[in-house]
Chain A
Amino acid sequence: MTSRKIDPRIKVTRRNFLQSSAAALPAGALVAGGATLGAESAWAQASTLTPHTMATLTLMARDIYPHDQIGDASYRKAVAHWDTDAAASPAKHSMINDGVAQLNAESKKRFKADYVKLPDEASRVTVLKAIEAHPFFKAVRADLVVSLYNQHDLWPKFGYEGASAQLGGYIHRGFNDIDWLPTA
């Protein structure tokens, strides 16, 4: 289990139970898309927060930072730590539970269903907009900006090559290889 300390206000932790839970998923669960991401079955092993809450956080993660080239497993990985955080901190536990309750209240008010049951992204974004000033939303978003984009295995999908010193930098690997600029 690795646990990486980031800016103290934004902690990123990785839990190895994640890998096991991802491995235990039915193959179909890994298909991208809101409906599958909302699946509570993926979170059967969450211990403090309910599978419904974890599924809600996961779908929120995709709707907050939607990248169609990123699979669901990465979004799950980004939010998994909230379960252990909630176990360790009653304040966080209630912040998450209250936040999810408020999210669903806004969703029901507008669309008569829980957030995870809304099939289209546009409706879900409308609901998120309604709570974006809420501390719950802010905490989830601020955390995600690190817990999602700091996943090294995602970097190649964004064309980012990461550490280069061990490869001798880019001096012989294309630091000046641009070939499409107009010549003056």
Chain B
Amino acid sequence: MTNKLAKFDLNDDSVFVIIGSGAGGGTLGNELAQKGVKVVILEAGARFNIPDFVNDEWPSFQQLAWTDPRVASGSWQVAKDFPNLPAWIVKAVGGTSIHWAGASLRFGEWEYKAKTTYGDIKGANLLDWPITLAEMEPYYANAENRMGVNGTNGIPHLPGNNNFKVMQAGATKIGYKTVFTGNMAINSQPRDGRGSCEQIGFCFQGCKSGAKWSTLYTEIPKGEATGNLEVRPLSQAITIEHDASGKVTAVVYADAKGVMQRQKARAIAVAGNSIESPRLLLNSASSKYPDGLANSSGQVGRNYMRHTTGSVYASFERPVHMYRGTTMAGIIRDESTNNPKRGFVGGYEMETISLGLPFAAAFFQPGAWGRDFTSKLDDYPNTAGMWIIGEDMPQETNRVTLDGTLKDKFGMKVANVHFDDHPNDIAMRKHGYQQGTAVYQAIGATRVSEVPPYPSTHNLGTNRMSANARDGVVNKYGQTHDIKNLFISDGSQFTTGAGVNPTLTIVALAVRQGDNIAGMMTRGEI
């Protein structure tokens, strides 16, 4: 690659502007750049390189996480435990693909048809996706290949670490059949110019071997190498502007010095993750669009989903050292189908998880103190852990809004994230806790702890995809129903969440969207 990084003029109105450089935005940026489209990615966070990552949980959190103010409300446990940290996501070039663990699963066919499959569920705002698994399959294949997902494309699975072996032994004992080291976007052998996993164990803190896929060192440099992609770090979009006809024309953003700049644009894709994307649309309200951009349906910010989650940690008589090796080292998939006999619709996965001591202290039992709590930490080396992640129900009242009073350092109103668990979510979590407990007790756990949800790592649904403009914000290509040169390119497009980790689908959708945007541009539609 030669050193001719693209640099576009603020007044160049032929550029395609993408807001956010994470899984969705970074992938779309590369796709468009490969097709010869001139792209500017505005990214609120700084740009780090692999050597900058630190194997130390708090300093890494300080380095990478979005710690600007947000507010949590509602009856969910996170609002009580972490009122100013509803979500745990990244603010940096590469977005949350720096933090992510790498679990890459396709949706099941029925998960694109939640409304049809589950029927009317009281309180749930269910809808079928306007696309099917069959339509997504080629894009899943593309995403798995570019991300190097093991178990696909002839890539071997990773070896199981101690934490996985404990979960596997218990799972086998209670009769679970689909137990393996997962489909991870982590190199099990060198591939795509990146090395293989060294079992470092700090997957959430940025992979120091580069074995784990992140847009930071895959999609983004590949896009930049075309000479068509410019990434501007420390550039936070504040509002999107439009002309009299309603088409979007520019993004106003705060640059590294906090000075407001205006980047003109031919078209704009918003990929700031499911809290910041609706925040930006709502903050861009104008006299033409008094409820915010692309919000004629009133659905912008609504149907916020975060997956039904919880963890089970178990103490054993003898050492486990769960923190050694990949954080999400394996999976049990037997509960991932839709089997309403269990007392809830939708499925869930059980995936190993581990926290280092500092995060274990903060997250095992938030707010707890005294000997009962500290004895769990005394068991730390003998502890194994798993995370439950399942489909949660979209609810109209679970929503991201602009906070009435609180503003960030640029004077932009901050996001309020309101969430109440649906009874289906509660029933599923309870089942997951019970099954996780059974797994560990089967092999002699001396103590099992049910750990409440962490701040949301999966944030979905707040600009959802719908066949009909009145039900959602974007069409099947992520193009907003209201404004044809405005797109959504992150997990906020999700119509429903499915019972699997979301990122493979976010990437597949971004690749598909790139194809369609290129077609629209060629045809002169945008």
Spell out A's residues near B (CB within 8 Å). 4-9, 12, 63-67, 69, 125, 128, 132, 141, 145-146, 148-150, 155, 158-166, 168-171, 173-178, 180-182, 184
Contact = CB atoms under 8 A, between A and B. Distances in A.
Interface in B126-146: none
Contact of B165 (A159, A162, A168, A181): A181
A125 B369 CA distance: 10
B172 A184 contact: yes
A161 B84 CA distance: 30
B381 interface: yes
Contacts of A146: 58, 358, 361-362
Contacts of A148: 361
Given A145-B362, A149-B358, A176 B165 contact: yes
B169 A182 contact: yes
B380 interface: yes
Nearest to A165: B208
Contacts of B369: 64-65, 128, 132, 141
B378 interface: yes
Interface of B: 53-56, 58-59, 61-62, 67, 84-85, 159-162, 165-166, 169, 172-173, 197-202, 208-209, 317-321, 323-325, 356-358, 360-362, 367, 369-371, 373-374, 377-378, 380-382, 443
Main secondary structure of the interface of B (DSSP, over half): loop
B499 to A, nearest CB: 26
Contacts of A145: 361-362
B158 to A, nearest CB: 10
B429 to A, nearest CB: 24
B165 A171 contact: no
Given A158-B380, A184-B169, 6 more contacts: A12-B58, A67-B378, A148-B361, A159-B381, A159-B382, A180-B317
A9 B358 CA distance: 16
Nearest to A173: B324
Contacts of B378: 67, 69, 158
B443 A182 contact: yes
Contacts of B58: 4, 6-7, 12, 146, 150
A162 B356 contact: yes
Nearest to A70: B374
Contacts of B161: 170, 175-176
Contacts of B370: 63-64, 66, 125
A150 B356 CA distance: 10
A141 B381 CA distance: 24
Given A159-B380, A168-B198, A149 B357 contact: yes
A181 B166 contact: yes
A158 B357 contact: yes
B324 A174 contact: yes
Nearest to B362: A145
B188 to A, nearest CB: 11
B166 A170 contact: no
13 contacts: A6-B59, A7-B67, A65-B374, A141-B367, A150-B58, A150-B358, A162-B356, A163-B56, A164-B202, A165-B200, A177-B321, A178-B162, A181-B169
Given A149-B358, A165-B55, A176-B161, A9 B84 contact: yes
Nearest to B200: A169
A65 B67 CA distance: 26
Contacts of A5: 62
Nearest to A68: B378
B62 A161 contact: no
B294 to A, nearest CB: 33
Contact of A169 (B165, B173, B201): B201
B159 A176 contact: yes
A149 B361 contact: yes
Contacts of A63: 370
B319 to A, nearest CB: 7
A176 B200 contact: no
A63 B516 CA distance: 61
Nearest to A144: B369
A170 B443 contact: no
A158 B430 CA distance: 30
A54 B513 CA distance: 60
B199 A169 contact: yes
A165 B210 CA distance: 11
B438 to A, nearest CB: 15
Given A159-B319, A161-B323, A7 B198 contact: no
A170 B327 CA distance: 12
Given A141-B369, A181-B443, A162 B55 contact: yes
A169 B159 contact: no
A65 B377 CA distance: 10
A141 B200 CA distance: 31
B330 to A, nearest CB: 11
A5 B56 CA distance: 13
A174 B55 contact: no
B166 A178 contact: yes
A143 B165 CA distance: 35
A128 B358 CA distance: 24
Contacts of B62: 4-7
A174 B358 CA distance: 21
A164 B201 CA distance: 8
A181 B380 CA distance: 18
B426 to A, nearest CB: 26
B408 to A, nearest CB: 13
B166 A169 contact: no
B2 to A, nearest CB: 31
Nearest 7 interchain pairs by C-beta? A159-B381, A169-B198, A163-B55, A175-B325, A169-B200, A149-B361, A160-B357
A184 B173 contact: yes
A6 B67 CA distance: 10
A178 B358 contact: no
B67 to A, nearest CB: 6
A160 B380 contact: yes
A132 B370 CA distance: 11
Contacts of B374: 65-67
A160 B53 CA distance: 19
Given A141-B369, A170-B200, A176 B160 contact: yes
Interface-central residue, B54, B373, B374, by most chain A CB under 10 Å? B374
Contact of A66 (B84, B162, B371, B382): B371
